[in-house]
Amino acid sequence: MTTRRWRVPWMVMVAALTVAPSLAGQSASDDGIPVQVTITDLVTQEPVRAAQVEFALSGEPAPLLRGLTGEEGRFRFDAVRPGAYELTVGALGYHDLAASVDVPWDQDRLDIRIEMVPQALELEPVVVAVPSRNYLTRVGFNERRQRGLGTYLDREEVNRRATLQVSDVFYTIAGARVQQRSGPGRYADVTFRGGCVPDVFVDGVRTIQGTSVDDILSVQDVEAMEVYRGGLIPGRFSAADCAAIVVWTRMVEDDGRPFSWRRALAAAGFFFGTMFLLR
């Protein structure tokens, strides 16, 4: 197999072009030859999905052929006529790529492998406004904590117990069971004795039954947390049969009216989940 390689400055990309040998006595047809482009991450070697691949004739601004890579980071053009082309590749989170490619006359196919360099995305700064302790008083957290019917954790206690995700807190709560999910990420489901699946309330709004705290919250979101089991569940959260997890999120105070996008998310999830069940 004949291999051709070219380099563009290392800050942009590294690419290798591989040409499969032609069959004996065979040349490109009038319709062209198949060209397969495979794109991977230079650092992780993982496939780059949904990358846009374009072929334009040299000197022509408009692309002649265009496609998106699939799950394996590949896209195949079935018939590309031999000639000189400009290949451009773009993918979210990566430096754009541009290179000249010659589609030969004496080959039956062309395979192109590209390794793209990840691009550090510059994000807008995040401003976190820490609510006053009056917020937890207004929502009744401090009063319920004084009664001591459940397990109560403020932000400092949550940060001390949770190493990576909110469910880590429950490793130290009696009767709770944390089961890691299979697949990517470290999300986990929390249950209690007897297979009890707790209801989850976010800023006073009940989420869809079976929602895990890891699905909708990160450790940085939590201002305080309440955990109840059995007959000790307060009436406000009595929709739960066997256990309830109540989370109060960090908010921005605006004229005494707290706002939380997490509350909006939980409310929307509960609404659409209910509508689905009623269909």
Report pLDDT digits (tens) over 192-230. Answer: 988 888 988 988 888 877 778 888 888 888 999 999 988
Per-residue pLDDT for 261 more than 70?
A: no
C-beta separation of 237 from 228 below 8 A: yes
Per-residue pLDDT for 137 more than 80?
A: yes
Per-residue pLDDT for 154 more than 60?
A: yes
Q: So what's the pLDDT on residue 183? A: 59
pTM above 0.75, yes or no: no
166-188: average pLDDT: 82
Per-residue pLDDT for 126 more than 70?
A: no
How does DSSP assign 64-132, residue by residue? SEEEE--TTSEEEEEEE-SEEEEEEEE-TTB--EEEEEEE-SS-S-EEEEEEEPB----PPPP--PPPP
Domain at 133-278, CATH homologous superfamily: TonB-dependent receptor, plug domain (2.170.130.10)
Q: So what's the pLDDT on residue 232? A: 86
Strand partners, 103: 83
* pLDDT 10s digits, 78-98: 888 898 999 999 988 888 888
Tell me what the pLDDT averaged over the chain comes to.
Answer: 76
Top-confidence residue, 266 or 164: 164
Backbone angles phi, psi at 59, to 5 degrees: 90, -5
Domain boundaries, the chain: 2-116, 133-278
Q: So what's the pLDDT on residue 205? A: 86
Q: What is the largest CA-CA distance in the chain?
A: 89
Backbone angles phi, psi at 216, to 5 degrees: -125, -5
Q: So what's the pLDDT on residue 18? A: 38
Coil, helix or strand at residue 207: coil
d(CA 264, CA 270): 10
Q: How confident is the model at residue 151 (pLDDT cuts 50, 70, 90)?
A: very high
Q: Give me the percent of the chain exceeding a pLDDT of 90.
A: 24
* pLDDT 10s digits, 12-56: 333 434 333 333 333 445 678 999 999 999 888 999 988 999 988
- Its CATH architecture, for the domain 2-116, is Sandwich (2.60)
How does DSSP assign 136-193, residue by residue? HHHTTHHHHHHHTSSEEEEHHHHHHH-SSSGGGGGGGSTTEEEEEPSSSS--EEEEEG
Q: How confident is the model at residue 73 (pLDDT cuts 50, 70, 90)?
A: very high
Give the single-character DSSP code of 61.
S
Say how many C-beta atoms besides its own lie within 10 A of residue 126's C-beta: 6
Q: So what's the pLDDT on residue 256? A: 42
Q: So what's the pLDDT on residue 46? A: 92
Per-residue pLDDT for 58 more than 60?
A: yes
